[in-house]
C-alpha cells in the first residue's frame, strides 16, 4: 500500500494534507548522499533527494517542497511549514510522520518516526476504523 493508493481510495471521505518540514538530510547537515549509504539510498529510494542544502529562507523551503511534491507524485497538495518550524514542533514530525486527525482536532493515529514506521497500511487501518465509527448504526 502506497500513500498515493490511500489518497486515491479515501480522498472523498478524508482530507489529505502533506506538510513539508525542515529538510531531513541536507548536504550541509546529516547528509546521505556520499559513500555506500548514498549509493544505497539512490538505489532503493531513487525519489529521495540527496542534493539539497537546508533552506535558509521560506522561498528556498517552498522550492524544496515543490521538488519533493513533484518527485513523490502522491497526488496530495503539499503545504510548507514556516521557518520557525511550528508544525514540525507541534507534531514532532521530523523526519517523517503519518497522522490521522479527527474532526474534533484530536490525533486519532500517529505513526512512529519514519522511515522505519512510515507504513501507509497502518494509516489505512486507522482511516477504516475512523470511518466505521462515523457510520450510522444499522436499524
pLDDT tens digits, one per residue of 53-81: 889 999 999 999 998 888 877 788 899 99
Distance from chain centroid for Cα 62: 15
Angle 45-68-23 from CA coordinates, rounded to 5°: 85
Characterize the bridge pairing of strands 99-101 and 107-110. antiparallel
The yes-or-no verdict on residue 95 having pLDDT over 70 is yes
pTM to 2 decimal places: 0.75
- The predicted pLDDT at position 34 comes to 60
CA distances, 126 to each of 40, 56, 100 (Å): 31, 36, 7
Element (H, E) at 109: strand 107-110
- The predicted pLDDT at position 46 comes to 43
Q: How confident is the model at residue 36 (pLDDT cuts 50, 70, 90)?
A: low
Amino acid at each position: 500500500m502506497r500513500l498515493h493508493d490511500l489518497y486515491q481510495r479515501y480522498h472523498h471521505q478524508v482530507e489529505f494534507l502533506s506538510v513539508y518540514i525542515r529538510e531531513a538530510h541536507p548536504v550541509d547537515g546529516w547528509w546521505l548522499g556520499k559513500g555506500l549509504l548514498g549509493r544505497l539510498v539512490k538505489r532503493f529510494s531513487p525519489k529521495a533527494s540527496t542534493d539539497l542544502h537546508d533552506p535558509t529562507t521560506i522561498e528556498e523551503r517552498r522550492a524544496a517542497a515543490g521538488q519533493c511534491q513533484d518527485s513523490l507524485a502522491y497526488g496530495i497538495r503539499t503545504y510548507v511549514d514556516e521557518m520557525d518550524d511550528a508544525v514540525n514542533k507541534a507534531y514532532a514530525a521530523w523526519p517523517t510522520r503519518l497522522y490521522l486527525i479527527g474532526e474534533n482536532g484530536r490525533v486519532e493515529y500517529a505513526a512512529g518516526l519514519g522511515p522505519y514506521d512510515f507504513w501507509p497500511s497502518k494509516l489505512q487501518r486507522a482511516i477504516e476504523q475512523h470511518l466505521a465509527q462515523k457510520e450510522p448504526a444499522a436499524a
